């Protein structure tokens, strides 16, 4: 009788400890997952991502809590851990591309190298960001095509965000003939830049001779504009340069070749 009482007492203590491990462990797992979710929300991480990651963390911690509680009861858990590990490994191999895209999407949402509406160049494609999801990023190209790019491809290369700062420098090269007066050409380019309201006063525009080319003297013209004015200014300026050069009598050279013909005597 004493043996059964001792055995019952022993099992009662084990069950009690296992329950305490389970209850406390479950509480800790929930607190940890909620804390992680709160941190992500404070960083303005997408609510869907924050909830998804929080639930995964809670489920993973709860599995360890259950295994610890079963181990306290004397139940062999080594086999269960091995099975879970093997299953996780198999699932990981099967879904490695999807998991890679998920991890990349999580990083994009957390660190925000771009946001919806930005004009970017990623994975060799340029366009406006339409949507950023867990596995893919959707771009709309200037010619109105929708391109869906796996997030793994987005983060595996360079990310160029053209609208992140709000201003852009317009880099242009304008050529004139060797017979044109360079001071007059520069003065005309400065005048055309100064007359356009889209050009920002700061940083100041840069205009100067950059190259004595094969067929022309090349000026670099580098004014700054708001990002939204970039292409409108770019196209208008080139048209105004052509019209102003024609009025001022300046030439816009094009590639040419001089051919010399010699007559040789047959004597």
Q: Quote the pLDDT of residue 15.
A: 77
pTM of the model: 0.59
Over the stretch 21-35, which tens digit does the pLDDT of each residue have? 878 888 888 888 888
For the chain, give every domain's residue range. 2-94, 113-161, 167-248
CATH number of 167-248: 3.30.70.100
Q: Quote the pLDDT of residue 94.
A: 46
Q: Quote the pLDDT of residue 163.
A: 87
Q: Which two tokens stand for residue 126?
A: 């340029």
Over the stretch 231-261, which tens digit does the pLDDT of each residue have? 999 999 999 999 999 999 999 887 777 777 8
> Topology of domain 2-94, per CATH?
Helix Hairpins (1.10.287)
| Interatomic CA distance for residues 37 and 185, integer angstroms | 61
- Quickly tell me which residue has 């809670």 as its tokens: 58
Pairing of strands 160-161, 119-122: antiparallel
Q: Quote the pLDDT of residue 117.
A: 87
Q: What is the pLDDT along the chain (267 residues), one digit of tens a residue?
A: 656 566 666 667 777 777 888 788 888 888 888 887 777 777 666 665 666 667 777 777 777 777 777 777 666 666 555 555 655 555 555 445 667 777 787 788 777 888 888 999 998 889 999 888 778 889 999 889 999 998 888 888 889 998 888 899 999 999 999 999 999 999 999 999 999 999 999 999 999 999 998 889 999 999 999 988 999 999 999 999 999 999 999 998 877 777 778 777 665
Among 171, 178, 188, 187, CA closest to 246:
188
Q: Quote the pLDDT of residue 46.
A: 61
Order the strands of the 217-222 sheet from edge to edge. Answer: 172-176, 217-222, 206-212
Q: Quote the pLDDT of residue 242.
A: 95
Length of the chain equals 267
| Interatomic CA distance for residues 151 and 121, integer angstroms | 13
The 3-state secondary structure of the chain, one letter per residue: CHHHHHHHHHHHHHHHHHHHHHHHHHHHHHHHHHHHHHHHHHCCCCHHHHHHHHHHHHHHHHHHHHHHHHHHCCCCCHHHHHHHHHHHHHHHHHCHHHHHHHHHHHHHHHHCCCCCCCEEEECCEEEEEEEECCCEEEEECCCCCEEEEEHHHHHCCCCEECCCCCEEECCEEEEECCCCCHHHHHHHHHHHHHHCCCECCCCCCEEEEEEECCCCEEEEEECEEEHHHHHHHHHHHHHHHHHHHHHHCCCCCCCCCCCCCCCCCCC
Residue 138, classified by CB atoms within 10 Å of its CB into exposed (0-12), middle (13-18) or buried (19+), is middle
Cα separation of the two ends of the chain: 141
Which class is domain 113-161? Answer: mainly beta
Q: Quote the pLDDT of residue 49.
A: 62
């Amino acid at each position: 009788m004493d043996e059964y009482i001792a055995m019952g007492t022993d099992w009662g203590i084990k069950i009690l400890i296992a329950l305490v491990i389970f209850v406390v462990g479950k509480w800790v797992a929930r607190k940890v997952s909620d804390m992680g979710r709160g941190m992500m929300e404070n960083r303005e991480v997408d609510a869907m991502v924050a909830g998804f990651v929080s639930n995964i963390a809670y489920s993973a911690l709860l599995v360890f809590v259950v295994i610890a509680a079963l181990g306290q009861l004397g139940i062999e858990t080594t086999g269960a851990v091995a099975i879970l590990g093997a299953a996780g490994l198999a699932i990981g191999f099967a879904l490695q591309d999807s998991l890679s895209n998920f991890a990349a999407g999580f990083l994009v949402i957390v660190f925000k190298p771009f946001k919806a509406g930005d004009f970017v160049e990623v994975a060799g494609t340029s366009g406006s960001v339409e949507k950023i999801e867990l596995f893919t990023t959707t771009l709309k190209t200037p010619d109105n095509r929708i391109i869906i790019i796996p997030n793994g491809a987005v983060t595996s290369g360079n990310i160029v965000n053209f609208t992140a700062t709000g201003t852009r420098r317009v880099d242009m090269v304008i050529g004139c003939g060797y017979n044109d007066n360079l001071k007059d050409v520069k003065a005309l380019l400065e005048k055309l830049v100064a007359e356009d309201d889209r050009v920002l006063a700061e940083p100041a525009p840069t205009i100067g001779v950059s190259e004595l080319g094969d067929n022309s003297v090349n000026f670099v013209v580098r004014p700054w504009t708001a990002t939204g004015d970039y292409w409108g200014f770019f196209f208008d300026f080139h048209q105004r340069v052509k019209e102003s050069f024609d009025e001022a009598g300046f030439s816009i050279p094009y590639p040419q070749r001089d051919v010399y013909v010699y007559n040789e005597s047959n004597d």
